[in-house]
Chain A
Amino acid sequence: MTAEATEGWHRLHPLSPVVRGGRGTIAIAILLLPILFSGGRVSDAVPQVAIIALLALGGFVSWLVTRWRIEEDDLRIETGLIRRQSLRFPLAQVQAIDVVRPGLARMFRVAELRLRTAGASGATARLAYVGEREVDPLRDQLLALARGARVHEGIPAGDDELERPPERVLATVATGPLVASIILERGWLILILAGLLSGFVVSPHTAAAVIGGGGFVWAVSIATVLWRRFNQQYRLTVAEGPDGLHLRGGLVALTAEVIRPGRVQAIRLVEPVLWRPLGWCRLEADLAGRQRSKGEGEAQRGQLRTLLPVAQRTLAFELVDRLVPDRPRELSPPPRRARWKSPLRYRMLRWGRSDTCVATVSGRLRRVTCWVPLEKAQSLRHVQGPVQRRLRLASVHVDTAGKAVHATLRDRDAGEAAEALTDLTDLARAARKRAVVARA
């Protein structure tokens, strides 16, 4: 693969347009069936056949004009017939590499390779689709190149097979707790179900009417959301390899992701209210890149990368320690008068820092704990609103390049907040300088 891959151009898998068509393909298949079984009178179905032929031609052309190759430190993709695009993705800036296999792709034994870089938009390189057997070696090769490009070593040239680095499995999600957690996270769902059940007992007709009317649409949409979650997180496995964190999982659509070390901007531990008696929590990582680019699949629809969909706190904290080695141990509550400003959040609010990391806890019903490594802090903001001023409180925000994690030192004593702002500015500067030195 090596010599050929660096020299020549590659095409995608010939079945790519069929798989990319997704639901459209299925629709076409359904459209075709009656024609096939109607006794071969094609003349009746000319419009359908014409449309299908056009679509097939379009798919074929899009496949024909798309090619890719690896050029030293870049992945280059050329595509487009009329508006020709040549895209170049520097491998050194890759944040994560995903391998995604939707249901249809699994049927045709192909997989999509996705490289996420840090930019704001159009920053995802998609190779959809690549043969199932080629995808893993290709991913390993890209990761090796990304590593090599980063430390300015050469490409490990000459070896016929890149060794797959050994990985250590850290956790796998069991199916039972996953189902329970998905339902428990939405406490209102239990209320609705209970309401419906009791409704059936009291007056079956009214309950049936509710379901028959708009309730049915609701039920379908709720089921879709639950299913999506389950499909994504089924048997999600976290493993640690030398090239980063490996995430694998999925029921119908399989995904395999690699998050490169040092690319996690922030992590967050979420404990919904009904999970807490069970000691469960969810661990999520935030990566750089602002928007989901167009055409990304369901795995990316969620804002954050879920590392542990549901786990015991002890296990989650082990993983946190691995990601943020020096996490703050002691978190301090805000002054009592913060109760007046944030009556619901007051019980949860905490913050602490070590020399390299900030930790904050917040949340009204669910508890959300955030960790931000200070070398990832983009900017700091000190904010004091009118109520806070009266109570001599202030908040400090730590902005990160991620999408959803905001560490906020909410409602601290004004003096403490000012001091925290100064301290964090200095610590973040020191952390940044260390990171620059380490990279050079």
Chain B
Amino acid sequence: MVVDAEHWRTPSRRLLRLRRWEVVVPAVAVAVVAALAGGGSGVALGLAFAAIVAGAILWGVVGRRYASWGYAEREDDLLVRRGVLFARLSVVPYGRMQFIDVTAGPLERAFRLATVRLHTAAAATDARIPGLDRDEAARLRDRLAELGEAQAAGL
């Protein structure tokens, strides 16, 4: 699908920060607990080291996954791309949208983020954009609703 690079929008940088926190906090917690509770035994230090290494690897994975997210508003449809291992690109025509969800979990709220999800009549449609800045999410929701109404096609 040919879309100029500048037309792709990405989720907020805060999503990347949130995802990194989600990796760092458990990894450090496991490492600290193992090191303290193990009393310096070889196994405990090994476990702590493993937790740090796993955290470092996941840090990289999270970064690549963040970079894979993108969406582009075109004239008649919305494009959403995601996935590192399984690269997916969804094309959702505005006229097919049934409704739009904006959700924000507790962690997302703490980072002032929201997830926008589009629903069509097909259950398989998979168009979700996480980690949008709240204002951007509201803008996107209103814009999509407007376009959806203008182009609505029946079933």
Question: Would you call A429 and B76 a contact (CB within 8 A)?
Answer: yes
- The chain B residue sitting closest to A424, CB to CB, is B91
Binds A, one of B22-30, B50-58, B121-129: B121-129
Decide if A381 touches B153 in the complex (CB within 8 Å): no
CB contact list, A296-338 vs B, under 8 A = none
On whether the beta carbons of A379 and B127 are closer than 8 Å, the reply is yes
Chain B residues with CB below 8 A from A379, complex form: 90-93, 96, 120, 122, 124-125, 127
B109: min CB distance to chain A, Å: 28
Q: Smallest CB-CB separation from B74: which chain A residue?
A: A425
Q: Does B87 sit at the interface, judged by CB under 8 A?
A: yes
Residues A421 and B89 in contact in the complex (CB < 8 Å), given A381-B126, A429-B76, A435-B154 = yes
Q: Are A288 and B90 in contact (CB under 8 A)?
A: no
Across the interface, B125 reaches (CB within 8 A) one of A378, A386, A389, A436, namely A378
Q: What are 13 A-B interface contacts by the 8 Å CB criterion?
A: A118-B121, A378-B121, A381-B91, A381-B125, A382-B89, A382-B91, A385-B86, A399-B120, A399-B124, A421-B1, A425-B77, A432-B95, A439-B154
The answer, yes or no, to whether B2 is at the interface (CB within 8 Å) is: yes
Chain B residues proximal to chain A, CB less than 8 Å = 1-2, 76-77, 85-93, 95-96, 120-127, 153-155
Q: Residues of A contacting B90 with CB < 8 Å? A: 379-382
A383 touches B86 (CB 8 A): yes
From A265, A288, A378, A382, B96 is in contact (CB under 8 Å) with A378
Residue of B whose beta carbon sits closest to that of A433? B153
What are the residues of chain A within 8 A of B123 when measuring CB–CB? 290, 403
Contact partner, B124, options A376, A397, A428, A439, Cβ 8 Å: A397
A404-440: CB near B (< 8 Å → 1, else 0) gives 0010000000000010011001001100100110010
Asked if A378 and B86 sit within 8 Å, CB to CB, the answer is: no
Interface size on A, residues (CB 8 A): 34
Question: A118-B155, A386-B85, A418-B1 in contact; A378/B91 too (CB < 8 A)?
Answer: no
Closest to A288 in B: B155
Among B1, B87, B125, B154, the residue within 8 A (CB) of A422 is B1
The CA of A428 and the CA of B122, in the complex, are separated in Å by: 15
Q: Do the beta carbons of B122 and A399 come within 8 Å of each other?
A: yes
- Residue-wise interface mask of A (373-394) relative to B, using a CB-CB cutoff of 8 A (1 in contact, 0 not): 0011011111111100100000
B85 to A406, Cβ gap below 8 A? no
Q: Nearest 6 pairs between A and B by C-beta?
A: A401-B121, A378-B122, A399-B122, A382-B89, A378-B120, A399-B124
Please report the C-alpha to C-alpha distance between residue A86 and residue B121 in the assembled complex, in whole angstroms: 25
Residue contact B120 to A401, C-beta cutoff 8 Å: yes
Whether B89 and A399, one on each chain, are in contact in the complex, defined by CB atoms closer than 8 angstroms, is: no
Chain A CB within 10 Å, residue with most, of B95, B121, B126: B121
Residue of A263, A290, A382 touching B1 (CB-CB under 8 A): A382
A400 within 8 A of partner (CB): yes
A439 to B154 Cα, complex, angstroms = 9
**Which residue of chain B lies nearest to A291 when distances are taken between CB atoms in the complex?**
B123
**Could you say which residues of chain B place their CB within 8 Å of the CB of A288?**
121, 155
Which residues from B are CB-within-8-Å of A422? 1-2
Once the chains bind, are B87 and A428 in contact (CB under 8 Å)? no
The answer to whether A389 touches B87 (Cβ under 8 A) is: yes
Q: Which residues of A contact B77 (CB under 8 A)?
A: 425, 429
The docked-state distance in angstroms from the alpha carbon of A288 to that of B121 is 8
Set of chain A residues within 8 Å of B96, measured between Cβ atoms = 378-379, 432
Known interface pairs A384-B87, A436-B153; A428-B93 also in contact (CB < 8 Å): yes
Most buried by A among B91, B125, B127: B91
A425 touching B154 by the CB < 8 A rule? no
Q: Mark A126-142, 1 if CB is under 8 A from B, else 0.
A: 00000000000000000
Question: Judging by beta carbons under 8 Å apart, are B88 and A381 in contact?
Answer: yes
Report chain B residues within 8 Å CB of A384: 86-88
Q: How far is the CB of B116 from chain A (nearest CB, A)?
A: 15
Contact A429 B154 (CB under 8 A): no
Cβ–Cβ < 8 Å partners of B122 in chain A: 378-379, 399-402
A384-B86, A399-B122 known; A425 and B155 CB under 8 Å? no
Contacts of B153 in A (CB 8 A): 375, 432, 435-436
Q: For residue B154, which residue of chain A has the nearest CB?
A: A439
A429 to B89, CA, bound (A): 17
In the complex, A384 Cα to B95 Cα: how many Å?
26
Chain B residues within 8 Å of A428, by CB: 93
Contacts of A418 in B (CB 8 A): 1
Q: In whole angstroms, what is the CA distance A6 to B96 when docked?
A: 34
A435 to B151, alpha carbons, bound, how many Å? 12
Q: What would 17 more interface pairs be, CB under 8 Å, given A384-B86, A432-B96?
A: A118-B121, A263-B155, A288-B155, A290-B123, A378-B96, A378-B120, A379-B90, A379-B93, A379-B124, A379-B125, A381-B91, A381-B126, A386-B86, A399-B122, A401-B122, A418-B1, A436-B154
